[in-house]
Structure 1
Amino acid sequence: MPRILAPLLAGATYARLLHLLVGWIFVGVVLMVYPGTYHKSLDEIVVAGAAVDTALLTLVALVPATRRAEGVQARLLLLPDREEDIAAESSRTWADRRRTAGWLIGRVALGSVVGFATAFGLTSGYDLLTGPDSFWYLPLAPLLVLGYGWLVVSAGRLQLAMAVRLLGPSPAERLAEAELRAERLLERNRLARELHDSIGHALTVTVLQAGAAREVGDQVFTAKALEVIEETGRRAMEDLERTLVLLRETPEGAAGNGTATEQPGVDQLPALFDTARSAGSPVEARIEVSAGALPGVLSRESYRIVQEGVTNALKYAPGEPVSVRIAVQGGQLELRCANRSAVGGVPAGLPGGAAGKGGKGLRGIRERATLLGGEATAGVSGDGGGEWVLAVRLPLRLGS
């Protein structure tokens, strides 16, 4: 019984009834103007009224703002589970106008059914309950009320379903919205990788420098270590500020701050190598391609990939030589970062279970390479040299 009565007592039911009766009122107003009811049969009234209503509603649907007005009204009175299910935007295409016309005609038709049922039910109920045999019809009163209530509930739900289908986003719009959400998710993942690579590198260098300064105990070395820590922290702060600007999605603010929007590229790798050398790891770098010869996105992603490779070398094999080579071969950009591996073929400090798949850093490198149409591998070299090698191949022409 509660499941039967609950919808009849819900506020949404009566808000939807009001929405339905507005369509019925529209029909009544038009009917009084034309064709009128004087000396007209019921068939003539229905046919002429339907034709006039359909023509008027179709013309109104051509106005772009009509769709927005109907969407706002439907949101307020039909009370959808999610407001975004019913759009509140003006018509932009002829498909939007056709769907708006279908909505208006369907809304008025359904509202007319409910309106006439309301008028007929009230008059018939009054006649039955006030007639000479009203005593015999009193037990039917609750059934009449229950039947009318569920007619309103069902009509309201049908009206809501029509609104979602005809006023909601079209399949093409839903697809575009899904693609936009996917793009935003990819962008957030990219920013997460940026933070991981930048902040991870800064923390690694900071920890190594602080530990070395404590062990050595030399004032000159300590001063140099503090200088490296300061410079590394400043670069990490710049990367963090740039990422936060992008997350806030405020182009005006980003445009006004050149430092926050500047993207590191291949031309900034020498400074990265100097930081690694100051941390105690010799770096032999061969950059056989100029930064200007690379597309901006390729230069930026190459910097992040090499940064992660150098960071891993500092973290898992501190003090060991690191070799980096960047060159173009066969129409592809090749990035190679190698350092000594520990006993068993796993870099020093890298858990054995992480050797195959790698941690977040190596996964991030693979994701970057895949998004650029390339590939990345990481593991012990097969030449018996005992080196841990990160190798990445990226197409020079993105999308190829």
Structure 2
Amino acid sequence: MPRILAPLLSAVTYARWLHLLIGWIFAGVVLMIYPGIEGRGPGEVLVRALPVDVALLGLSALVPAMRRAEGVQARLLLVPEREQDIAVEPARGWADRRRTAAWLIGRFALGGVVGVASVLGPAAAFDLAVRPEPVVFGVRVPGGDVPRWGLLLSPLLLFGLGWLVVWAGRLQLAMAIRLLGPSPADRLAAAELRAERLLERNLLARELHDSIGHALTVTVLQAGAAREVGDPAFSARALEVIEETGRRAMDDLERTLALLREPGGPGDPNEPGGGEDARERPGIDRLPALFETARAAGSPVEARIDVPSEGLPGVLSREGYRIVQEGVTNALKYAPGEPISVRVVVRDGRLELRCANPLSPHPGAPRRGGKGLRGIRERAVLLGGEATAGAEAGKWVLAVRVPLRLGA
């Protein structure tokens, strides 16, 4: 019983009822102007008024702002679950105008039915309850036993009218979502925009994780070592490494934030000091500086870099640097002081990246493939390659293989 009565007591139902009646009021105003109701039967009035109403609604749909006005009104009175299901943008083409015209005509027709029922229904219910020979929807019911069952039939008639309003409101909402909502092309464009923004957010998250995470790891290790050793010369060198690492992290942060700035900001190539330099990301050629930072943190690095003299494609060089950086950072974090072996070679049309270090004799938290390793796998897959990471013969080995050309 509550499920049956709840819609009849909901404020949403009456808001949608008002929305339906507005369409009926429009039809009534047009009807009084042309053809008029004086001396005309209902059938004649309907036949003459219907073409005029449809023509006026079709012409009004040509105005771009009409779609926006109808969308705003539908959002307020039809109360959709998600506001974005009903657009509030003006018509941008003939397809939008056609859908707006269909909406206006459908709203007028459905509102007319509900409006007539809203007037005749209560009148018929009143007649059934109090008159000996009631008139129900224009039909006179003979007397006799009517007064005895009319009091029971009258509430049922009002109950049916209420549910007519409920279902008409739901149908009106479905029409609004279909005809006033975004078109399939708009929905596809919105989905593509959401996917693009998600990719951008993931890119920014990876950039911050790789660059800032590496800088913090080196800084913590250097500060801890300086405190333990207590040698002024070592402490001075540690502070230099911390300062240099911090500056590089600030540069990486500035490059990452440049992706978030609006056009015309410091990252805009049209602005002084902006442009490609602000957005440039480190590549394979910056690996020696990365290895020096790791050595200064107390971990010997044996590196072999064998790439063509003409260099690698830009995207491979940048992503390769980030992959190696994450491998070195993990080695510093989980096996501080242990030697690190890095190999970057081009072989058989593929770029091979390998970073290995002995497993720490005093392991801390086990590596379970956190955000860093997941980011490496994502980078490798996007480049058409593969990445593996795990313990091999007493070492932790990160291996990545990606083709030099996409699709190779």
**TM-score grouping bracket, smaller chain normalisation:** 0.7 to 0.9
> How has the CA–CA distance of structure 1 residues 274 and 130 changed in structure 2, closer, same or farther, with 3 Å as cutoff?
same
Within-5 A mapping of 1:290-301: 293-301=311-319
What is the DSSP-based 3-state SS (H/G/I as helix, E as strand, rest coil) of the residue aligned with 1:319? coil
The answer as to whether partners of 2:300 and 2:338 remain within 8 angstroms in 1 is yes
> 1:388/1:121 Cα in 2 relative to 1: closer, same or farther (>3 Å)?
closer
Which string of whole-angstrom CA distances, capped at 9 and with x for unpartnered residues, describes residues 4-45 of structure 1? 433333222221111111111221222233344456553343
- CA offsets, 1:39-85, max 9 Å, x none? 65533432333333233323333333322221111001111122112
CA distance in 2, matches of 1:293, 1:48: 80
Distance 1:327 1:90, change over 3 A: farther
Computed over aligned residues only, the root mean square deviation of the Cα atoms, in angstroms, reads 3.2
Segments of structure 1 that go 5 or more residues without pairing to the other structure are: none
Q: Secondary structure of the residue that 2:346 maps to in structure 1?
A: strand
TM-score of the two chains, using structure 1 as the length reference: 0.83
Q: Per-residue deviation at 1:189?
A: 2.6
2:389 is the counterpart of 1:378: yes
Query: Does structure 1 retain, via aligned residues, the 8 Å contact 2:103–2:175?
Result: yes
Cα drift, residue 281 of structure 1: 2.2
The question of 1:210 aligning with 2:218 is answered no
Look up the match of 1:267: 285
Residue 92 in structure 1 maps to residue 92 in structure 2: yes
CA distance in 2, matches of 1:11, 1:391: 62
- Give the match for residue 255 of structure 1: 267
Deviates more, 1:105-114 or 1:254-263: 254-263
Change (3 A) 1:223 1:9: same
In structure 1, C-alpha distance between the alignment counterparts of 2:373 and 2:364, rounded to whole Å: 14
Secondary structure of the structure 1 residue equivalent to 2:91: coil
2:131 maps to 1:147: no
Q: 1:351 and 1:252, CA in 2 relative to 1: closer, same or farther beyond 3 A?
A: same
Q: Which residue of 2 aligns with 1:82?
A: 82
Structure 1 residue aligned with 2:9: 9
Q: Deviations over 1:337-379 (max 9, x none)?
A: 233x24xxxx65557964xx64432222111111121112234
SS of the equivalent of 1:62 reads coil
Shift of residue 88, structure 1, vs aligned partner? 1.3
Tell me the CA shift for residue 253 of structure 1. 4.2
SS in 1 for 2:299: coil
- Conserved? CA contact 2:340–2:356, under 8 Å: yes
Partner of 1:157: 170
Show the counterpart of 1:319: 337
Q: Residue 249 of structure 2 corresponds to which residue in structure 1?
A: 236
**What SS does the aligned partner of 1:378 have?**
strand
Task: Please give the secondary structure, in 1, of the residue aligned with 2:354.
Answer: strand
- How far 1:392 sits from its partner (Å)? 1.8
**Structure with higher helix content:** 1
CA contact (8 A) 2:125 2:155 kept: no
2:336 counterpart SS class: coil
Task: Give the Cα–Cα distance (whole angstroms) in 1 for the partners of residues 401 and 80 of structure 2.
Answer: 51
The answer as to whether partners of 2:16 and 2:78 remain within 8 angstroms in 1 is: yes
Correspondence for 1:72? 72
Q: What amino acid is aligned across from residue 386 of structure 2 in structure 1?
A: E
CA contact (8 A) 1:197 1:308 kept: yes
* Letter of the structure 2 residue corresponding to residue 150 of structure 1: W
SS at match of 1:111: helix
Residue in structure 2 matching 1:367, options 372, 378, 384 = 378
Deviation at 1:156?
A: 1.3
Query: Does the 8 Å CA contact 2:258/2:267 hold for their aligned counterparts?
Result: no
Count of residues in correspondence between the two structures:
389
SS at match of 2:81: coil
Partner of 1:278: 296
Counterpart Cα distance in 2 of 1:262 and 1:374: 24
CA contact (8 A) 2:126 2:154 kept: no
CA drift of 1:286 comes to 4.0
Q: Percent identity?
A: 71
* Cα deviations by residue, 1:233-260 (Å, 9 ceiling, x for unpaired): 33334434554565x6645545268587
Q: Where does residue 390 of structure 1 map in the other structure?
A: 398
Distance 2:377 2:3 in 1: 54
Q: Is residue 119 of structure 1 aligned with residue 119 of structure 2?
A: yes
Alignment of 1:56-71 (within 5 A): 56-71=56-71
CA contact (8 A) 1:254 1:261 kept: no
For residue 323 of structure 1, report the CA deviation from its aligned partner. Answer: 3.4
Counterpart of 1:88 in 2: which secondary structure? coil
Give TM-score, length-normalised by structure 2.
0.82
